[in-house]
């Protein structure tokens, strides 16, 4: 299946008891596809992956894939700081019907580049799923360098990278040096347009929960040569992009916003907590400035 240019890093809804609400997860995934996303990333950072059990992840992958069928891709977050566990999760995601795996850089252990290369390579070799690397040094304390990514781009089923390094020079070097089959998705909404301009493939978006139609228009406008329209959309959405990442730690703002819009996404699992009143007001004010996609909020 084509993985798509606009993917949404989906929140994981919880019910009033703090359990995964699979019914709401399926409703949300469908709503995201209805508003322009071509696939969803499950059990990633935005999905509170560190608090989900293996069984919860497998059921989430299976149920969402069953709900959306061939309408969109399910990219399963299966990377951890343990290579063996990552292989187990990735194989499980494949059995559950996922279309691809998202493999985050091992966090906490701060491996050297050779360790990163071997980690990602052996996971990819253990599955037939396309694998997307997730480079986010702000959370993992380690950057997957250009050189390491170009080595990994030679692994047949490593499909590309979700680049959240914020380093546009590195992104340019990767796009320039990698084969065309190795795609670069922006992992940061506010760098979506700059990375597209460098030759990137698309974006893994958080804001698309709220402004999916606009995000889809932005990507389509740029690809069709309407760069002025794409730039105007980007400028209009930029305050929301920034606020969703800076008012409180992701996914607190976007999940809070969904709840306020009328889509029950539930609370958070510790160590994440609800925003305080002042922070909540800031989130609400930021969202009110945008024309949100009410399809998600019904």
Annotated catalytic residue within 162, 182, 201, 256? 162
Burial class (CB within 10 angstroms; exposed 0-12, middle 13-18, buried 19+) of 107: middle
| H/E stretch holding 8 | strand 6-9
Q: Please say whether the beta carbons of 289 and 240 come within 8 A.
A: yes
CA atoms of 15 and 275, how far apart (whole Å): 18
Is 134 marked active-site?
yes
Is 107 marked active-site?
no
C-alpha angle 265/63/292, rounded to 5°?
Answer: 35
Please tell me whether the peptide bond between 251 and the residue prior to it is cis, using omega within 30 degrees of 0: yes
Q: Please say whether the beta carbons of 265 and 48 come within 8 A.
A: no
Annotated catalytic residue within 134, 182, 201, 256? 134
CA atoms of 131 and 161, how far apart (whole Å): 8
> If DSSP codes are grouped into helix, strand and coil, which group holds residue 79?
coil
In the chain, % helix, strand, coil (3-state, to 5) comes to 50, 15, 35
Q: Which residues form the catalytic set?
A: 134, 162
């Amino acid at each position: 299946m084509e993985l798509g240019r606009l993917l949404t890093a989906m929140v994981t809804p919880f019910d009033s008891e703090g359990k995964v609400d699979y019914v709401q997860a399926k409703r949300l995934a469908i709503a995201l596809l209805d508003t322009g996303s071509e696939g969803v990333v499950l059990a990633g950072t935005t999905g509170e992956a560190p608090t989900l059990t293996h069984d919860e992840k497998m059921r989430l992958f299976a149920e969402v894939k069953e709900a959306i069928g061939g309408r969109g891709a399910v990219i399963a977050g299966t990377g951890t700081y343990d290579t063996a566990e990552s292989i187990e999760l990735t194989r499980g995601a494949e059995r559950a019907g996922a279309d691809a795996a998202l493999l985050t850089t091992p966090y906490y252990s701060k491996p050297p580049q050779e360790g990163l290369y071997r980690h990602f390579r052996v996971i990819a070799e253990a599955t037939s799923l396309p694998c997307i690397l997730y480079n986010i040094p702000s959370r993992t304390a380690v950057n997957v360098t250009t050189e390491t990514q170009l080595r990994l781009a030679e692994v047949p089923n490593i499909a590309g990278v979700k680049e959240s390094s914020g380093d546009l020079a590195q992104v340019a070097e990767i796009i320039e040096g990698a084969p065309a089959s190795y795609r670069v998705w922006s992992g940061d909404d506010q760098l979506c347009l700059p990375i597209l301009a460098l030759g990137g493939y698309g974006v893994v978006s958080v804001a698309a929960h709220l402004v999916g139609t606009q995000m889809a228009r932005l990507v389509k406008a740029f690809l069709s040569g309407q760069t002025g329209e794409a730039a105007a959309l980007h400028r209009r959405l930029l305050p929301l992009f920034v606020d969703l990442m800076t008012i409180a730690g992701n996914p607190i703002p976007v999940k809070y916003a969904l709840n306020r819009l009328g889509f029950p996404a539930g609370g958070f699992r510790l160590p994440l907590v609800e925003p305080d009143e002042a922070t909540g007001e800031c989130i609400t004010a930021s969202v009110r400035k945008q024309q949100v996609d009410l399809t998600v909020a019904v």
